[in-house]
Every structure is written in C-alpha cells, then in structure tokens.
Amino acid sequence: MEKIDISQPLDNLTEEFVVNIGPQHPSTHGVLRLQVKLDGETIKDIIPHLGYIHRGIEKMTESLGYKQFIYLTSRMDYLSAHINNEACSLAIEKGLQIEVPARAKAIRIIMAELQRLTSHELWWGSCAMDMGAVTPFFLAFRDRERILEIFEANTGNRLTFNYITPGGVMFDVLPSFVRSIKDLLKKVKNYLKEYDELITGNIIFQHRLKGVGYLSRELAISLGCTGPVARASGISCDIRKYYPYDGYEKLEFKEIINNGCDSWARYEVRMEEMKQSIWIIEQLIDNLPEGEFRTKMKGVIKLPEGEYYQRVETARGEFGVYIVSDGGSKPYRVKFRSPSFSNLAALKPITIGSKIGDLMASMATLDLVIPDIDR
C-alpha cells in the first residue's frame, strides 16, 4: 500500500461537487431548483432551473377575453395579487380611456398598501425562519391574518382576490371598513415594534445578514433589479414616485433608499417600507371619497389596435403588463414583466464566493416568489 505523507497539509485534495437545492426545499419557498457547485463550503457556481410551476399564463391570455385574463394574474405573485390585478386593470383602462371614480382609486390604493404589508410581514417571518428563528414565522402569520380577515370580509377571498377590475373595484367596501382599518393600523404599529424588539436588534441575526450578499449599484442596474432589492443598492426606482398611478401623486410618502447594498440593507428597506405603507393608508382612510365604486363597462371589452404598457410597484418591485392588441376581443399577445424573474438573476453574482450558509440569507432577502418567476 502506498504510504501517504501527512506531515505536510494536502492542498490539492479539494474536490468540486454539485448539490441540488430544491425543487422541494423549505428555503426556496416554492419549487425552484438551484444547482450549486461547491468547493468545500464555498459556492463556485449557481445555475437556477425554473419551470416546475410554469403554467403558460402568457399563452392562456391569448385565448381569454380582457376581463377574464386578469384572474390569472392573481396566481402569479400570489402575495401581491391586488397589485397585479390593478396593473392589468390600469392597462385596459388606459386603452379604453376610462376615468375611474375617486372612491375606487382610494380603495385600490388602500388595498394595494395592505397587500404590501401582508407581503412584507410574511417575508419577515420566513426570512427569520431561514436564519433559524422559528418564533417570528408564527408571529408573522398571526399578524398577516388580521389583514386577511379584512380582505376576506370586503373582497370575499383571502389570497386570489380578483377584486380590482377594469373601471374600478368589484364591490363597494363594507360600512365597517374604515373602522376596521383604523383598528388594524393601531395593531400593526405595535406589531412592528414587536418585530424590532424580537429580531432587528438581535446580534446573531444581524451578523447573519450584514456584509452578506453584496449587490453593487452598477450590477443591480445591469441585472434589472427593481423594488426593495434595487433600493437597498441605492437606486431610486419607485414606480409610485416616477410614474404615479391611481392618485399616488397626491399622497405623501418617502421612497426608502439605502446605500448598504447587502442583505441587511434589504432587510432595513422592507421594514421601513411597512411604515410608509401605514402612513399612506392613514392619509386616505380619514377622507375616503363618497360616490360610485365602478364606472359602467361593456360586457366584452375591445381594446383599440396598438400597444399598451403599464407598470406598477408590487411588494417585490416593478411589475409590467405589456398588451398588444389587434382590435379584437382577445389580446394578441400579453407579456408580464415580473419582478422576481429579474431579481432571480441577482442570486448568482451575490452568492459566488460565499459560504453555502449565506446562500439562504441572500435568497431570503431577495424575497423571490416562484410562481411569479415561472408564470
């Protein structure tokens, strides 16, 4: 037998190997497969494999009417369902040049901001769980439930609402809506304090996120990142500020920008955004306009021939609807520019060279929703 000299450390013995993370893995929050090439614990390369939940929504829209395909968009980013519906409604209203009643606009913004709150709360819980803290996950679901109760009472659904339709909203809100929102906001403010006490100041949690997953400003622009991911890299890109829709231009709110560029910066941006959402709802809830909640629409909508692009700010970033119409009752082509699809591209450059444990931290703060990637 050959004798191995172990008096000197062996430096040529590392072997590259491949680990598949997913498609069924708790930290991918859905069915995404990451083929990770590892050298010891260090990540050498990541290849994302998508398509496990691809439903061909873009193809389906071509055989559905304009009012019908909106239902499918709730199934893409299911945590921003209201906002996706809003984007499609706005694109269709733009084509038909319909003015939406003031009450409907206010209700839309309140619903969209509540949706952002639910999404960020769920992200907070799952992010902490990915870091190994289980309690926040239950707290997040408890708090999200308070908002879902309001959604359920007013829209009839908890996850896929289809509440915002072309011309306004599906039904008027309940008489108890204003009071329930005011009660809710009081609670949510307390919840946010609780979140900070529990996790934000936690030294272990901070060490897991600080300096991890560095995404420079130039790279974020090149990769097409939007939303909190881009704003944590110092890019000012809030659609609500630059291309306001549904009356965001009349509201006062801050665009949260952080120049930290790491996972911790992304955490801070989302925590601050929750406070801004509360502030937006507070401005609207006291003087909710009276009147109609929907303008009358024709049964079958026909958009004039042409192209319409509408973008909105979902909880994850810029969501765009690109409708190409040939004048018929069905769209000729619809493209959904989903925020998670572009943000996924950032995963590879921010994790290469780091340890595999940090991959979870980076993924958690990118806040990917897999059905939104696959469509």
Partner 1 sequence: MNRQDLKIYLEQNYPYCKVDDTFDFPLLWVDSEKLISTVHKLKNTVETNFDFLFCETAIDRVTHFELVYHLTSTKFHHDIVLKVKLENMDNASIESVYPLWETAELFENEIYDMFGIRFIHHPDLRRIMLGDEWPGFPLRKDYIDDINIKTL
CB of 137 to partner 1, least distance (A): 30
- Grouping H, G, I as helix, E, B as strand and the rest as coil, residue 247 is coil
Give the tokens for residue 94: 């733009």
**Which residue lies nearer to partner 1 by CB, 46 or 133?**
46
Query: Going by C-beta distance under 8 Å and a sequence separation of 6 or more, which residues neighbour residue 204?
Result: none
CA atoms lying within 13 Å on the CB side of residue 130? 25
75 lies in the site for partner 1, by CB under 8 A: no
298 lies in the site for partner 1, by CB under 8 A: no
**Is omega for the bond preceding 23 within 30 degrees of 0, making it cis?**
yes
113 lies in the site for partner 1, by CB under 8 A: no
**Which residue lies nearer to partner 1 by CB, 24 or 176?**
24
Distance, CA of 15 to CA of 125 (rounded, Å): 36
Out of 26, 40, 56, 353, the only residue in the binding site for partner 1 (CB under 8 A) is 56
Out of 37, 42, 46, 50, the only residue in the binding site for partner 1 (CB under 8 A) is 50
237 lies in the site for partner 1, by CB under 8 A: yes
CB of 220 to partner 1, least distance (A): 9
Out of 149, 236, 289, 298, the only residue in the binding site for partner 1 (CB under 8 A) is 236
**Which residue lies nearer to partner 1 by CB, 65 or 247?**
65
CB of 50 to partner 1, least distance (A): 5
Task: Specify whether the CB–CB gap between 73 and 323 falls below 8 A.
Answer: no
Distance, CA of 191 to CA of 214 (rounded, Å): 29
**Which residue lies nearer to partner 1 by CB, 274 or 303?**
303
Query: Going by C-beta distance under 8 Å and a sequence separation of 6 or more, which residues neighbour residue 238?
Result: 231, 255, 313
3-state helix, strand, coil in the chain (%, to 5): 50, 15, 40
Closest of 55, 46, 51, 49 to residue 22, by C-alpha: 49
23 lies in the site for partner 1, by CB under 8 A: no
CB of 59 to partner 1, least distance (A): 5
**Which residue lies nearer to partner 1 by CB, 126 or 351?**
351
The label of the residue with tokens 């444990």 reads: 357
Residue ranges that bind partner 1, judged by CB under 8 A: 47, 49-51, 54, 56, 58-60, 63-65, 94-95, 219, 221-224, 226, 235-237, 242, 306-311, 318, 320, 322, 324, 330, 332-333, 335, 337, 341-342, 344-345, 374
